[in-house]
Amino acid sequence: MASIKDVAAEAGVSVATVSRVLNDHPSVSADARTRVLAAVETLGYRPNAVARSLRTDQTHTLGLVISDVMNPYFTELARSVEEEARALGYSVIIGNADERPDLQDHHVRNLLDRRIDGLLVSPTDGGSPLMLDAARAGTPMVFVDRWIPGVDVPVVRADGRAAVRDLVTHLHGLGHRRLAIIAGPAATTTGRERVEAFREALAACGLELPDAFIGQGDFQAESGRRVTEGFLDLAEPPEVVFAADNLMALGALDAVRARGLRVPDDIALAAFDDIPWFVHTDPPITAIAQPTGELGRAAVRALVDRIEGRPGESVTLPARLVVRRSCGENPTPVQRSTS
Amino acid sequence: MASIKDVAAEAGVSVATVSRVLNDHPSVSADARTRVLAAVETLGYRPNAVARSLRTDQTHTLGLVISDVMNPYFTELARSVEEEARALGYSVIIGNADERPDLQDHHVRNLLDRRIDGLLVSPTDGGSPLMLDAARAGTPMVFVDRWIPGVDVPVVRADGRAAVRDLVTHLHGLGHRRLAIIAGPAATTTGRERVEAFREALAACGLELPDAFIGQGDFQAESGRRVTEGFLDLAEPPEVVFAADNLMALGALDAVRARGLRVPDDIALAAFDDIPWFVHTDPPITAIAQPTGELGRAAVRALVDRIEGRPGESVTLPARLVVRRSCGENPTPVQRSTS
DNA sequence: CGGGTTCGTGGAATCGATTACATCGACGGG
DNA sequence: CCCGTCGATGTAATCGATTCCACGAACCCG
């Protein structure tokens, strides 16, 4: 592969001049410029990004560590992150933690070793020493979706409180009184917050959330199935199951089907995170939709702001309820999902 | 960030010795080794991968350019690729081409500039000069799922011919005679092959595939919807629609629903590529399943073989039919999907 | 016409590693 | 006792860029 020296030789100038042309530094004669560009063309020269990074201490690369690529929510997030980053002149390296803290650490370490310019993380747990150190050491960092309390890093996320309240009101309006939740891991903010929001919304309707109606899941489909089976085995099973993410909702649907029961006639189902497939399930699933694309873009903007020396602020956007048929017929059809 | 010089100073040795310890070169005294390791520990030193790559001309990184991250098939492929690569000591940088040749080129160029050790591609089109040049220039490369004819690069893919034959036989057995297909882009091998396999399978059953029953899609949901609407507008619409990928099947399902028709009673639906959600749609969708994880792993192994100087062979694995309910009741329930 | 800018250019240092080569001491065999 | 060998270590070149600094030529102005 041709290097800058080859180009310099071909054009009959020094490497310094070639570099200046390539970085369009003002002080280059028109003659030298054309000769260099011609040489670049004939040699098919492309600057070595590795060498450039070593010298400039910038990789123009962002690291994105997400909890689970197979979760459509995170896939969409990753996609919007890459798009916005590309628009701003950055590349993205994605690390999939698969909800495993050890894998998360592996990727963070790997990305740090590669000297990425900044890190976007949706933490799987409460934060390993490695990540906390990185944050303290001044690595530009932004949390997206989930975050770690007490760490001085901007957070870009959706606030689901209002939407959860809307959901519970909707369920209450349909006559449901016994509502259960499949929670996410307590180590994650989203895992805790969604339960809290649910409990508060129930209280506002004068309902309680007994411990038996809080099932511990891990954001994966299998846990949704397991927890739902537990619910169905209760002497007085819930009338509604609210899954804290889309994969657990899928598992719940499986469990309900496996018993020969039907949604929503025998038991209602709702989920946090809306995804395209929820329109096509049987029945279509009522869900709380996050502005995923906007979150990804905002997170990148905040991170790039930090990298380039600007403040870089936290952003919280509202989630919203999308009513479909999985909780029973809606008395006010005008509110039906538009998708 | 501490560099190797700082470690050398702290340990009271030269940088060469530090490097030797880090790469466990045999000729280092036990004493020097412990002093270096202690210095590494106290300084929290991590080798700069950028510098190392510049010197060794290896990045231990694979590039993966896929056609569409939002397609669950490719997501799963990406995941298995990353897993296998990690097991072999490589990282993966994913580029999402979004079925756009210009974006595909952008990513290929970017990855090449970063001096990745090898490239895994599922080409969106017939191959840009850029990619052909890279292949000719000797960049280790492997095609996965889709490929470009006439380029001397190993191909790892699934062969769907037998499964398509099974599907058509199944459909014929259910009494369907008017079968249509939503094809993928003719520029892709999978786009062409699936139509061919379908046509041959029909011929084997004594059926024809009229032009009106070949709709041109682009592997995206919206095109599936559009093509299906065209089919439904025909004076004699098909009894079955076979979508060449899962997203177009989703669009087809939308179109059918929008007309107030039902699957499979009014029209049957089948898809190439099986995904977890197909179990949960209404009705569950009959599909042709590829051994996606195995394809990803085999592709990585072939690529790493090439990189490390071994042959690196093409691999073709069989796809298989998974019968569900979207084509009508199955006369032999024993064949039902196991998932 | 002379001194101070400005402009274009090249030489060389530098980033942080790896590694060929030189050096030096210890040790073993003849 | 001397010399060759080997093991441990340091010096310095190198990878491919960027960029500071110096230098010479041209130019401007008084």
Nucleotide nearest to B14 (CA to C1'): D10
Predicted confidence at residue B215, as pLDDT, reads: 97
Which residues of chain B make contact with A250, given a CB cutoff of 8 A?
276-277, 280
pLDDT of A332 > 70? The answer is no
Query: Over the range B71-91, which residues count as b (16 or more CB within 10 Å of their CB) and which as e?
Result: bbbbbbbbbbbbbbbbebebb
Q: Return the nearest residue to D13, CA–C1'.
A: B55
DSSP-derived letter for residue A241 is E
Could you list the pLDDT tens digit for every one of the 339 residues in chain B? Answer: 899 999 999 999 999 999 999 999 998 999 999 999 999 999 999 999 999 999 999 999 999 999 999 999 999 999 999 999 999 999 999 999 999 999 999 999 999 999 999 999 999 988 789 999 999 999 999 999 999 999 999 999 999 999 999 999 999 999 999 999 999 999 999 999 999 999 999 999 999 999 999 999 999 999 999 999 999 999 999 999 999 999 999 999 989 988 999 989 999 999 999 998 898 887 899 999 999 999 999 999 999 999 999 998 999 999 999 999 999 875 444 444 444
Chain A residues in contact with B72 by the CB 8 A cut-off are: 70, 72
Query: Distance between CA A110 and CA A274 in Å, rounded?
Result: 32
pLDDT tens track for A148-200:
999 999 999 999 999 999 999 999 999 999 999 999 999 999 999 999 999 99
Mean pLDDT score of chain A: 94
* Nearest CB partner across the interface for A70, out of B46, B48, B75: B75
Whole-structure pTM value: 0.93
Give me the phi and psi of A183, to 5 degrees please. -85, 160
Alpha carbons B273 and B296: distance in angstroms, whole number: 15
Which residues in chain A have their CB less than 8 angstroms from residue B106's CB?
86
Closest-approach residue (CA) in chain A for B89: A110
Q: A258 and chain B: CB distance < 8 Å anywhere?
A: no
Asked whether the beta carbons of residue B283 and residue A283 sit closer than 8 angstroms, the reply is: no
Give the count of beta carbons closer than 10 Å to the beta carbon of residue B260: 7
With contact defined as beta carbons under 8 Å apart, do B40 and B25 qualify? no
Cβ atoms of B115 and A48 closer than 8 Å: yes
Task: Annotate B122-156 with DSSP letters as a single string.
Answer: --SSS--HHHHHHHHTT--EEEESS--TT--S-EE
- Min Cα distance B23 → chain A (Å) is 16
Of the candidates A51, A70, A254, the beta carbon closest to that of B76 is on A70
Token pair of B13 as six digits: 């040795």
* B26 prior amide bond cis, ω within 30: no
Asked whether the predicted pLDDT for residue A337 surpasses 80, the reply is no
pLDDT at A128: 87
Say which amino acid occupies A283.
Answer: P
d(C-alpha A246, C-alpha A307), whole Å: 33
Condensed to tens digits (0 to 9), the pLDDT of residues A35-56 reads 999 999 999 999 999 999 999 9
How far is the C-alpha of A37 from the C-alpha of A27, rounded, in Å?
15
Residue B208, Cβ neighbours under 10 Å: how many? Answer: 11
Among B109, B113, B250, the residue with its CB nearest the CB of A280 is: B250
Chain D nucleotides close to protein (CB under 7 A) are: 7-12, 14-20
CA distance B166 to B320: 8
Q: Which residues 196 to 225 of A reach strand D, CB within 7 A?
A: none
Q: Quickly give A60 CA vs C21 C1' distance in Å.
A: 38
- What's the 3-state SS for B175-227? CCCCEEEEECCCCCHHHHHHHHHHHHHHHHCCCCCCHHHEEECCCCHHHHHHH
Alpha carbon distance A154, A295 (integer Å): 13
> With contacts defined as CB-CB under 8 Å, which chain B residues touch A106?
86
Predicted local distance difference test score (pLDDT) of residue A90: 97
Instruction: Please indicate whether, in this complex, the C-beta atoms of B93 and A91 are within 8 angstroms of each other.
Output: yes
Give the whole-angstrom CA distance, residue A326 versus residue A174: 12
**B residues 93-112 closer than 8 Å to A (CB):** 93-94, 96, 106, 109-110, 112
CA-to-CA distance for A199 and B309, rounded, in angstroms? 60
111-170 in chain B: CB under 8 A from chain A: 112-115, 133
Give the largest CA-CA distance in chain A: 87
Give the closest nucleotide to B19 (alpha carbon vs C1'): C18
Contacts of A49 in chain B (CB under 8 A): 113-115
The closest of A192, A264, A267 to A233, measured between CA atoms, is A267
Q: Residue B330's pLDDT is what? A: 57
Predicted pLDDT at A330: 57
* Residue where the block lists tokens 């062409």: B192
Between the CA of residue A265 and those of A262, A325, A333, B231, what are the distances in Å?
A: 6, 10, 18, 35
**Is A229's pLDDT higher than 70?**
yes
| CA separation for the pair B150, B159 (Å, rounded) | 19
